Chains A and B, each alone.
Chain A
Amino acid sequence: MSKKGKRRFQLTGWSMVVVAAAFVLFFSYVPMVQAFFLSLKTGKGANLEFSGLANYARMFQDKVFWTTLGNTLLYAVIQIPVMIFLALLIAVLLNDPGLKLRGIYRTCIFLPCVTSLVSYSILFKNLFAVDGLVNQLLLKLGLIDTAIPFVLTDGWAKAVVVIALLWRHTGYFMIFFLSALQNIDQSVFEAAKLDGSNFFQTFFRITMPMMRPIVFLTSVMALNNTLQLFDEVVNLTNGGPGNATRTISQYIYDLSFTYVPSYGYAAAVSYVVLLLIVLITIVQKKVIREK
């Protein structure tokens, strides 16, 4: 391509991204930059004064910050790999054209992510209540002697949150994979079959590598979702017992709206979260790409 042609080529490219970029930059970055300046100010409510990096220093002393950050990362480490694996597995199973009833399976598995948070949190609380269905079942099976107060015990409460997240989001992430699988030429799978690969060989040698861009996308999305986890925890455990299930997002919300607002500190915590996600994402990108 000539130099001039190259330039025109690039200009066409820029013309295609400019509208979307303008929207994002204006409606997202303008508030974000303002929030960054806010993060350099301390004080309550509207009584703000510039104080440099004081908010960032404050985090080191703040035990609740570390607890909630730890909880959030723990959710991420446990839930994301399990969920992505499950979603991918289900998507591959459902992609088999020979499978009967796959339309029905697909719809069923998608349903949890549209089920309203309110209804499913009532149900989950019901299921895991002290005299709830799960306890009754375990008691009947003789697996436990006394009912477990699930949402009132540290470890169990965390487990309930993870189960709820898995239940709610697996179907959603399945759609990413399902739609991406359609973009892979079916003949590749047929060729693999002719070579005598079994299901798992095909899954790991062909499907996974070809799905790499989407696996990367989903892992970034899932990480982002988890680090911004809020509603589920508020509705299921309200952060308890103590601070055992509280998330960093819940903390940011509390700092802004539940407590006498420390908008500057809340913004600083947000920026640390942002930095963290960006760092992890860069690592993810390296890991997933360079396999």
Chain B
Amino acid sequence: MKKRFVALAMMAVLTVGMIAGCGNGDGGSGDSGNTDAGNNTDAGSQTQQTPEQTEAPADNAGDDAGDQADASGEGTEITVWAWDAAFNGYALEEAQKIYGDGVKVNFVEMAKADCLQKIHTTLASGVTDDLPDVVLISDLNAPGYLMSYPGAFRSMEDMINYEDFASYKKSMVSYDGVSYGVPFDTGVAGLFYRTDYIEEAGYTAEDMQDLTWEEYLALGEKLKENGHMLQTYNPNDIAEFQIMLQSAGKWFTDADGKADFVDNAALKECYDIFKTLNDSDYVKVVSDWTEFAGAINGGDVACVLRGSWISSTIIQGEDQSGKWAVAPVPKLSVEGATHYSNQGGSSWFVLANSKNSDAAADFMAKTFGSSTELYNTLLGEKNIMGTYLPASSAEAYSVGSEFYGGQTVNADLADWLGQIPEVPTGAFSAEAQAALVGVTPDILSGGDLDAALATAAEQFEQSIQ
């Protein structure tokens, strides 16, 4: 009994020591990046001590020495919150190489939803002490952030030339006529398809270039005869609507941000197609991403309609190399319909009130805002495609892809990129989709489309107040 008590007490003392160590250690190491070995008792973090770690704790210690160290040291540290180290983290690393030693990028990695949530919490709290310098925000969410936190983001209009970027992208990083974000990756949409499967069904690559949705669905019937599925289908996911709507220059909402459901011919056609897929026997029903990716890599489906980022999933099926190609997306029958669209993509936003906002803005402008070299590297090394138009003449674009049977995929995508209709997505895309998902089961089970859309519009108006 006694022994155990002693052990417990020792543990307590030890842990208190550890905690104290953490607290003091931060302050100590925050003073300067070079002498951090001094009083840091937190062995774990000591092995981790790199200059990147020293800034935020310096704030906490309330010690100005940290700032001075930054100014006189090897470069201002800019903190960036983003997701996906292999993609966005890599891009930051390359940008750092191009910019040189003037700044030191501290990339804080989080899962995407976590990152977006953390940005909300931080900005909503109204604090200015603990802000990152740059955050990554997905394009569909960006207007919402710009609307929610006036003055929080820095306009980059005087630092980068927005005319150099794909026009659809510019409107996604702007709010109330002012452009804020530094446009980054594109989600230019493509119809990725299995060349071997469609040949079996009697189609050629030529046939795929100018498909209407009707023709595309007819392809499904043919594929089925040969035992293949056309594409995946998830009744609970209307992400493909984004592609269809934008290809026709339409969106879930109108230019004033009001619900555009009931009188939206494009949206109605989306639902007609969705219902056809629902009732058909040539789709592979999936309920989540894992099954979706499995259906692609497992050779179950002939076609995938997604933003260009889906390529990284497709090429994981190494045994299918040479059997894929990509065509422009099928065209809706409504007025203004095109073969070009977008799904996804993100942009960088510099915070106006962060500690090193100026340095961060300069860094972003000189790299992601204007460096052909950067985009060439990103595309050549990791297939990351930006929306910076001057870069499309870079050599990486003209290289044929072995996986896609020699097709110059990047050049094609870049060509479509410039033709994507610009749509005012507004701030409420998530609300609109949620309202539609809520009534989708009714529509699929044969309910009246107009009535369902009216219900959804009502819910949407309710949710944006």
A: residues with CB less than 8 A from B are 42, 44-47, 58, 61-64, 122, 125, 129-130, 149, 151-152, 154, 237-238, 240-244, 254, 256-263
A130-B285, A238-B236, A258-B430 known; A122-B290 Cβ under 8 A: yes
Report A-chain residues with C-beta under 8 Å of the C-beta of B427.
44, 260
Determine whether B434 belongs to the interface, using a CB cutoff of 8 Å to chain A. yes
A61-B462, A263-B124 known; A47-B148 Cβ under 8 A: yes
CA distance A232 to B194 in the complex (A): 36
Which residue of chain B has its CB nearest to the CB of A130? B285
A-B contact pairs, 9 of them (CB 8 A): A45-B149, A47-B147, A64-B438, A129-B287, A130-B287, A152-B236, A152-B285, A242-B438, A257-B120
Report whether A260 and B147 are in contact in the complex, using a CB–CB cutoff of 8 Å.
Answer: yes
Specify which of A63, A238, A260 is in contact with B431 (CB 8 Å cutoff).
A260
Question: Closest CB of chain A to B430's CB: distance in Å?
Answer: 5
Report whether B459 and A64 are in contact in the complex, using a CB–CB cutoff of 8 Å.
Answer: yes
Determine whether B39 belongs to the interface, using a CB cutoff of 8 Å to chain A. no
Identify the interface centre among A46, A152, A237, A263: most chain B CB within 10 Å of its CB. Answer: A46
Determine whether B361 belongs to the interface, using a CB cutoff of 8 Å to chain A. no
Report whether A44 and B147 are in contact in the complex, using a CB–CB cutoff of 8 Å.
Answer: yes
Which residue of chain A has its CB nearest to the CB of B442? A242
Report whether B465 and A58 are in contact in the complex, using a CB–CB cutoff of 8 Å.
Answer: yes
CA distance A259 to B428 in the complex (A): 7
Specify which of A42, A46, A242 is in contact with B126 (CB 8 Å cutoff).
A46
CA distance A64 to B460 in the complex (A): 10
Report whether A240 and B144 are in contact in the complex, using a CB–CB cutoff of 8 Å.
Answer: no
Question: Closest CB of chain B to A77's CB: distance in Å?
Answer: 23
Of the four ranges (under 10, 10 to 19, 20 to 34, 35 or more), the interface on chain B belongs to 35 or more
CA distance A154 to B444 in the complex (A): 13
Determine whether B464 belongs to the interface, using a CB cutoff of 8 Å to chain A. yes
- What 0/1 pattern do residues 418 to 449 of B give for CB contact below 8 A with A? 00000000011011001001111110000000
Question: Closest CB of chain A to B228's CB: distance in Å?
Answer: 16
The B59-87 residues at the A interface (CB cut-off 8 A) are none
A-B contacts besides A240-B236, A260-B464, A261-B144, 15 pairs, CB < 8 Å:
A44-B144, A44-B427, A45-B123, A46-B123, A46-B126, A63-B462, A64-B438, A151-B287, A152-B234, A152-B287, A241-B441, A257-B116, A259-B463, A260-B144, A260-B428
CA distance A259 to B120 in the complex (A): 11
Specify which of B285, B287, B434 is in contact with A254 (CB 8 Å cutoff).
B434
CA distance A62 to B438 in the complex (A): 13
CA distance A243 to B437 in the complex (A): 8
Specify which of A125, A242, A244, A260 is in contact with B439 (CB 8 Å cutoff).
A242
Report B-chain residues with C-beta under 8 Å of the C-beta of A154.
441
Report A-chain residues with C-beta under 8 Å of the C-beta of B287.
125, 129-130, 149, 151-152, 237
Report whether A46 and B144 are in contact in the complex, using a CB–CB cutoff of 8 Å.
Answer: no
Which residue of chain A has its CB nearest to the CB of B236? A240
Report A-chain residues with C-beta under 8 Å of the C-beta of B285.
130, 149, 152
Report B-chain residues with C-beta under 8 Å of the C-beta of A238.
236, 288
